[in-house]
Amino acid sequence: MARAIVMDPKDNVATLLSEANRGDPVEIRSKGGEVLGRVIANAPIPFGHKIALMDLKEGERVIKYGEVIGRATRPIAKGDHVHVHNLESLRIKAEVA
């Protein structure tokens, strides 16, 4: 079974600690190791990438580490791979002098 970690209780995505294939159950754990539940992967998700813990609407904020890291550019279903194809970063771009 694949595993993923949630760093903050406010997070709506978890980070994969091992690769997941479509249909695999993914065990979600807290940073303290407590099992929080399971999510079924809707697609292959590489190690280190994010999986949605709940349905997210287009424009909804994606939260990781308890902080907003971006917004959904289209609807994201629970169990979907969350990455650049459906997530827009909200980080401030540094100005080049």
| Structural domain contains residue 38 | yes
The pLDDT assigned to 23 comes to 98
Mean pLDDT, rounded, of the chain: 92
Q: Are 24 and 43 a contacting pair, CB within 8 Å?
A: no
Can you give the CATH number for the domain in which 49 is found? 2.30.130.110
| Structural domain contains residue 15 | yes
What is the number of structural domains in the chain?
Answer: 1
Q: Which domain holds residue 16?
A: 2-89
Output the pTM of the full model. Answer: 0.90
The stretch 59-87 carries a mean pLDDT of 94
| Structural domain contains residue 94 | no
| Structural domain contains residue 97 | no
